[in-house]
């Protein structure tokens, strides 16, 4: 059995406050050993003015965010997906949205950088989103084999691009940190998360931001754990908190055997 955990937050601009929130949440929940804990997108710093995330950007393997998450993973002997936080790049005017997987010994097992950037117009309080203004997109599809299963990493807007998930090959668990807006979440969140679970025949742990943030941005919440058959195993509506559920990864095998979607697929992503 594998314990899957999603932490739902209303993150603030304060890195220290957000890290303290995660630490307290894990302590309160008494997360079992070898759990997979997924934090939301921008968990460490959110609700700021344009460009202020640059001030929180860390160099790889250095900085408070990485140190604290590594220590938490080691203390709880669990896997932690860092949601995203700003990672410094060679371009001083831009960062990358880094999603790291920390192992139970505190080491970094995987490093994914968000590929699809949210440059859209939405009928909400914010109106226009231009993530690429300060963020460099990633380019690598990332999966990692661990003792609890083969894990694929994606972030928020990525969920709309099925070619990315085709390129991952066979995965047991898809982690999806997000900061889905209230408006797009109402329309598409559940449908997209469940579609990825069904097409990949894998578990999905989707951890979302929730509520209204200091810059007026509204996020949808409704963090989910979804089964390979598309069933909602656990969901947290719009309050701050934690959901967790234990699953048997081996149940995937029966679903794959009865409906061998991957074998029947006649199309391949250009990533492959």
Q: Which are the catalytic amino acids?
A: 41, 114, 156
Identify whether the C-beta of residue 185 lies closer than 8 Å to the C-beta of residue 214. Answer: no
DSSP secondary structure string for all residues of 153-179: E--GGGGG-HHHHHHT-S-SEEEEEE-
Nearest to 205, CA basis, from 42, 43, 83 = 83
- DSSP E strands in 89-209: the ranges are 95-102, 108-113, 119-121, 128-130, 135-136, 143-146, 149-153, 173-178, 203-208
CB atoms near residue 250 (< 10 Å): 10
Query: Distance (Å, rounded) from C-alpha 13 to C-alpha 50?
Result: 12
Query: Distance (Å, rounded) from C-alpha 155 to C-alpha 166?
Result: 15
Query: Distance (Å, rounded) from C-alpha 66 to C-alpha 100?
Result: 9
Handedness of CA 65, 67, 70, 76 (dihedral sign): negative
Report the first-to-last Cα separation within the chain, whole angstroms.
Answer: 31
Nearest to 107, CA basis, from 78, 135, 84 = 78
């Amino acid at each position: 059995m594998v314990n899957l955990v999603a932490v739902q937050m209303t993150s603030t601009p304060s890195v220290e406050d957000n890290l303290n929130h995660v630490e307290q949440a894990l302590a309160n929940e008494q997360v079992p050993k070898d759990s997979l804990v997924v934090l939301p997108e921008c968990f460490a710093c959110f609700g700021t003015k344009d460009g202020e995330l640059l001030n929180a950007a860390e160099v790889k393997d250095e900085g408070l965010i990485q140190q604290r998450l590594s220590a938490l993973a080691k203390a709880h002997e669990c896997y932690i997906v860092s949601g995203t936080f700003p990672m410094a790049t060679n371009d001083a005017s831009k960062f990358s949205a880094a999603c790291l997987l920390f192992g139970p010994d505190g080491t970094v097992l995987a490093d994914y950088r968000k590929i699809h950037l949210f440059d859209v117009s939405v009928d909400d309080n914010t109106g226009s989103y231009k993530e690429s203004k300060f963020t460099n997109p990633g380019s690598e599809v990332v999966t990692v084999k661990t003792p609890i299963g083969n894990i694929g990493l994606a972030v928020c807007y990525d969920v709309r691009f099925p070619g990315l998930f085709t390129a991952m090959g066979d995965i047991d668990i898809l982690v999806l940190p997000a900061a889905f807006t209230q408006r797009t979440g109402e329309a598409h969140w559940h449908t997209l998360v469940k579609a990825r679970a069904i097409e990949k025949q894998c578990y999905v742990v989707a951890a979302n931001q929730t509520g209204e943030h200091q810059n007026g941005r509204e996020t949808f919440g409704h963090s989910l754990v979804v089964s390979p058959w598309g069933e909602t195993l656990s969901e947290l509506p719009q309050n701050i908190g934690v959901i967790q559920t234990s699953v048997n990864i081996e149940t995937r095998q029966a679903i794959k055997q009865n409906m061998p979607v991957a074998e029947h697929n006649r199309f391949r992503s250009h990533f492959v």
